[in-house]
Amino acid sequence: MKTDLLDKFGKWGADFLGVKYPIMCGAMTWVSTPELVAAVCNAGGFACMAGGNTPIEILEKQIKETKRLTDKPFALNLITIAPLYKDHLKLAVELEVPFIIFAGSFPRKSEVKVAKEAGAKVMCFASTHSIAMRMLDFGAEALILEGMEAGGHVGHVTLTILIQQVLFEVDEVPIFTAGGLGTGKICAHMLLMGASGVQLGTKFAVAEESCAHPMFKEAFIKANARDAVSTPQFDSRLPVVAVRALRNQSTVQFGELQMKLINMLERSEINREEAQYKVEEFWVGRLRDAVIDGDVSHGSLMSGQSVGLVNEVKPVSAIMEELVTDIEAELQRVAGKFV
């Protein structure tokens, strides 16, 4: 497959990642197994394992299994607010994971230094302009600009704004864009605007190699973009970390829980810390219920708005071929307008 323009516009990102195509599969808890990660890497892309709060012994097995399944570079996504975060970072350093991506909140500057001194390339998520600048100051070697259109835990700024605030203003490190990307055509225009590469998640969640339950995949295929909603916060006294997922019975129950807890706070029947714990406790295990057990009514169907562009289950190789072909075709189409 000839990819002359993709090779040109995606060179910085591809060289940084050490891959053929600067197309990343984002980390998805329970979904990003060694099989899916390796499949994307072996197809010429780049994939991220999800650290989450995986027990150390299981994460160690997953890293070693991924290395067995592919000789290509991959990343481990570390959630800085996870209870096992420091143990995960130590394990990543010991096992010489080639890329470490810090997510969830801010890593310490010293932690970024530890990762880099161990030989890992460091990438950081940025959901706002200020976070992007702070991560660069901490030593990030690349940024992933993630708009609120993405699935899972998200910020409150759209990708189009982040592109104008960060992508157009920062040129010292590769910048990858994420959030709402579901086709090769839009990925081509990300490259034309200066992105070094792109990250997609929802599209790969329904790949044949994804371990997700058939009911989970079917829910994605049937869903429209408007079905992927972000959890609201009803009252500042009860902080809620926004999560984008498909609307189902859990979404309704979560709203009802917030209203109940707010009323209890007003009557001093519960303190803020206890209420916050109950908010966080609500979602514990619900992602697994959806991904592994197929409970699409009460489980958490974390999905980006690009779910409206997902319409079939395909092998990773076919997904990658479609993306690459469409990116190159769109770049050629645009180039033709200047001839």
pLDDT tens sequence across 215-264: 999 999 999 999 999 998 899 889 888 889 999 999 999 999 999 999 99
Higher pLDDT, 105 or 198: 198
Spatial CB neighbours of 39, under 8 Å, sequence gap ≥ 6: 47, 207, 209, 315, 316, 317
Give residue 280's pLDDT.
78
Just give the CATH number of 4-212+309-334.
Answer: 3.20.20.70
Give residue 286's pLDDT.
92
- In which band, very low, low, confident or very high, does the pLDDT at 147 lie, cut at 50, 70 and 90? very high
Give residue 239's pLDDT.
86
The structure's pTM equals: 0.94
Half-sphere exposure of 115 (CA within 13 A, CB side): 30
β-strand 99-103 against 121-126: which pairing, if any?
Answer: parallel
The structural domains of the chain, with segments of one domain joined by +, span 4-212+309-334, 224-302
- In which band, very low, low, confident or very high, does the pLDDT at 183 lie, cut at 50, 70 and 90? very high
Mean pLDDT of the chain: 95
pLDDT tens sequence across 74-118: 999 999 988 899 999 999 999 999 999 999 888 999 999 999 999
pLDDT tens sequence across 55-70: 999 999 999 999 999 9
Given a cut of 90, whether residue 334 has pLDDT beyond it is yes
pLDDT tens sequence across 45-58: 999 999 988 999 99
Given a cut of 80, whether residue 284 has pLDDT beyond it is no
CA-CA distance, 306 to 26, in Å (whole number)? 13
Share of the chain above pLDDT 90, in %: 88
Give residue 192's pLDDT.
98
